[in-house]
A and B are shown apart, each in its own frame.
Chain A
Amino acid sequence: MPIAGLTDRGLAFPQIGVIRKGAPKGEKSPGRDLTYFRVEFDASRPDLKEKFESYYGPQPRRLNVVFPFNDFDRQVSIWYEAYNKGRMVARAGTVAGLDPARNYYLFKADPRNGEVLAKDGYWLSSGEPAEYDKSTPEYTMTYTGKDGKTRQLPVYCKPITRVKLVIRELREMAYVLLRSSSIYDAINISEQLLALWELTGHRWAGVPLIVSRKPVQIMCPDENGNRTYREKWLVQFQADPLWSEQKLLGMNAEALRLASGVVDASRAIAALPTGIQADEDDEDEDYIEAEEPDGWEVNAPEVEEADEVIEPQPVVVSGKTNGARPYPPEQLKSHLFEAAEKLPEASAKMISEVAATLEYIYMSKDKRQMFLNWLCGKESLRETDKQLTAALHRWLKPQYSNQATAYIPQDEHAAAEANAALEQYLAETGQEKLPI
């Protein structure tokens, strides 16, 4: 659905659209998370949608983009934010001059009357630093459930990531805003962009980039300390392989390392935002934390938005998944061995394709060896049973990509499954977790 009014702001460098990760919100429920980008353009420019879809189709997973600005803060923002009745009531992050390891309120208003309580890191009343504590709700909303009972719902800040992107094929001097409220995106994006920021010598504007959706297994330990996983389609930024072969090697390895690993939820919840300066109470899109006036009858709101997981409801890995992909590590292993029994031996070409694809997934010879060690106790494909290698080939579906100049798994779950398997191997052998 197009957005009406976006280009009426009177901006010289206008925003012409929004890139979202979730389906449209229902009347009282959040939109479910999608595996592709949902791109909406301003209603007054139907040509943009037409042009965009002629390049990307209706459900793109990968976009060719470029950053318009070199200034980090102008380009990217990640803040904790809370809204009430369509207005921002809190924004928090790090503040220059205060403890860089803590977050402070850049803005905080009384949700009842809009009175500003804190600004730029300090309480207006006392002049003391206004430290932000993510475990303290910003306010409590009252709602009446379908059962007629009134309940109190604490409303907390959520990490909101915004990145301004110019879509290359549109050839427009205008940007679209990529927005995510996922804490995992906040962490991944900030790490990927910091790496990119360094790689480009702080001059990333104009560097061709690819932004894509990527399935990642989120590891969330449960109460008993069991490892549990849940799939999330995160946002991944990487430099376009065509940009520079020299840069490509460094960047792709880094981007892949950052984006394909398992995200440790406990770490995810602890950190954020990263030292990004903020200004005042600017909200730049229609993010709603609706509160109905007291006494109104509304349907119980969903506490958790589809694309944001503050406290994930984990999926137990050791339990049955009814055969649904991606397979947890043990299931992957047993499927591979079952398949191996029925397949002819892999050819030399297939063996090298499997090796190249695992190399692409892990970007590390050591990790490839660890994966094989986990699978069959061997460290190289030369030693690995050729029927098992044939099963690996069938699983990964290697295909050469001219654009990436590498063998890439065509199976959409293979990379996530391979990373989950490696994670398990590292855990079993008491080694460090994968860096995210």
Chain B
Amino acid sequence: MVENRGQKYLDPGEASRVQNHYVCAVCWGHLMSFYRVEEGKPPYVEVVCARAVDGKCSGTTFVTKAYAERRRQESQAELWEARANLREILDLPQSGKTADELIDELFGG
């Protein structure tokens, strides 16, 4: 019985490269490998999102670790820009933070 939905690799080396260099495309969390043997089929390795194993993520595809890391770094500046651009139209409350606090937030304190 195969429950997890990830990607299947006949070459264990390729599976291990994927596990080492990629993260889940949905949650950007780390990946796990499962060795599978099914009757009438060649054995294979399935690489799945670790969160997907217990149903906490629906991701089945992967992005590079480097991409996820870079996007995380960009995101704080994106929040800063989006907040400034959208406060009026979304009628959002002022953050109550001082300019210094916001700058600290932007540059990671």
| Alpha-carbon distance between A280 and B57 when the two chains are bound, in angstroms | 25
- A-B contacts, 24 of them at CB < 8 A, read A4-B56, A4-B58, A5-B52, A5-B58, A10-B28, A13-B76, A43-B58, A68-B86, A69-B82, A70-B85, A86-B6, A113-B14, A113-B17, A114-B21, A166-B90, A173-B82, A175-B82, A206-B89, A279-B70, A282-B64, A283-B62, A283-B67, A286-B58, A293-B42
Q: Would you give the 0/1 interface string for B36-67, flagging 1 where the beta carbon is closer than 8 Å to chain A?
A: 00000110100001011001111111111011
A9 contacts B90, C-beta separation under 8 Å:
no
A206 contacts B88, C-beta separation under 8 Å:
yes
Which chain A residue has the least Cβ–Cβ distance from B13?
A113
B18 contacts A173, C-beta separation under 8 Å:
no
What 5 A-B pairs come out closest when comparing CB atoms? A5-B57, A5-B27, A86-B61, A205-B85, A68-B82
B81 contacts A69, C-beta separation under 8 Å:
yes
B26 contacts A5, C-beta separation under 8 Å:
yes
Q: Which of A69-101 contact B (CB under 8 A)?
A: 69-70, 74, 83, 85-88
* Shortest distance between the CB of A108 and any CB in chain B (Å): 14
Does A411 sit at the interface, judged by CB under 8 A?
no
A285 contacts B25, C-beta separation under 8 Å:
yes
A171 contacts B27, C-beta separation under 8 Å:
no
* Shortest distance between the CB of B75 and any CB in chain A (Å): 4
Known: A83-B61, A282-B70. 7 other contacts (CB 8 A): A4-B58, A114-B14, A171-B90, A175-B82, A286-B58, A286-B60, A295-B41
* Shortest distance between the CB of B80 and any CB in chain A (Å): 8
Out of B64, B75, B76, B81, name the residue touching A281 (CB < 8 Å): B64
Q: How many contacts between A and B, using CB within 8 angstroms? A: 157
Q: Would you give the 0/1 interface string for B65-109, flagging 1 where the beta carbon is closer than 8 Å to chain A?
A: 011101110011011011101101111100000000000000000
B49 contacts A5, C-beta separation under 8 Å:
yes
Q: Would you give the 0/1 interface string for B1-40, flagging 1 where the beta carbon is closer than 8 Å to chain A?
A: 0000011111000100110011011111100000000000
A293 contacts B44, C-beta separation under 8 Å:
yes
B10 contacts A205, C-beta separation under 8 Å:
no
Count chain A CB atoms within 10 A of each CB in B7, B25, B49, B88 and give the residue with the most.
B25
- Measured as residues with beta carbon below 8 angstroms from the partner, the interface class of chain A is 35 or more
Which chain A residue has the least Cβ–Cβ distance from B88?
A206
Whether A87 contacts B82 in the complex (CB less than 8 A), given A166-B90, A168-B89, A171-B90, comes out as no
A114 contacts B18, C-beta separation under 8 Å:
yes
Does A296 sit at the interface, judged by CB under 8 A?
yes
A206 contacts B56, C-beta separation under 8 Å:
no
Q: Which of A280-308 contact B (CB under 8 A)?
A: 280-288, 290, 292-296
| Alpha-carbon distance between A338 and B79 when the two chains are bound, in angstroms | 59
B76 contacts A12, C-beta separation under 8 Å:
yes
B25 contacts A12, C-beta separation under 8 Å:
no
* Shortest distance between the CB of A395 and any CB in chain B (Å): 38
A residues in contact (CB < 8 Å) with B: 3-6, 8-14, 43, 66-70, 74, 83, 85-88, 112-114, 166, 168, 171-173, 175, 205-206, 208, 279-288, 290, 292-296
| Alpha-carbon distance between A9 and B68 when the two chains are bound, in angstroms | 8
| Alpha-carbon distance between A112 and B11 when the two chains are bound, in angstroms | 10
| Alpha-carbon distance between A168 and B87 when the two chains are bound, in angstroms | 11
B51 contacts A8, C-beta separation under 8 Å:
yes
| Alpha-carbon distance between A13 and B8 when the two chains are bound, in angstroms | 33
Query: Hey, which chain B residues are within 8 Å of A85, CB to CB?
Result: 7-9
Out of B22, B42, B58, name the residue touching A87 (CB < 8 Å): B22
Which chain A residue has the least Cβ–Cβ distance from B41?
A296
A10 contacts B72, C-beta separation under 8 Å:
yes
* Shortest distance between the CB of B68 and any CB in chain A (Å): 7
B24 contacts A5, C-beta separation under 8 Å:
yes
* Shortest distance between the CB of A211 and any CB in chain B (Å): 15
A286 contacts B79, C-beta separation under 8 Å:
no
B61 contacts A288, C-beta separation under 8 Å:
yes
* Shortest distance between the CB of B104 and any CB in chain A (Å): 13
| Alpha-carbon distance between A282 and B44 when the two chains are bound, in angstroms | 26
Query: Hey, which chain B residues are within 8 Å of A5, CB to CB?
Result: 24, 26-27, 29, 49, 51-52, 56-59
Query: Hey, which chain B residues are within 8 Å of A284, CB to CB?
Result: 25, 63, 67, 71
* Shortest distance between the CB of B24 and any CB in chain A (Å): 7
| Alpha-carbon distance between A282 and B73 when the two chains are bound, in angstroms | 14
Out of B27, B88, B91, name the residue touching A8 (CB < 8 Å): B27
Query: Hey, which chain B residues are within 8 Å of A69, CB to CB?
Result: 78, 81-82, 85
| Alpha-carbon distance between A166 and B81 when the two chains are bound, in angstroms | 13
| Alpha-carbon distance between A114 and B20 when the two chains are bound, in angstroms | 12
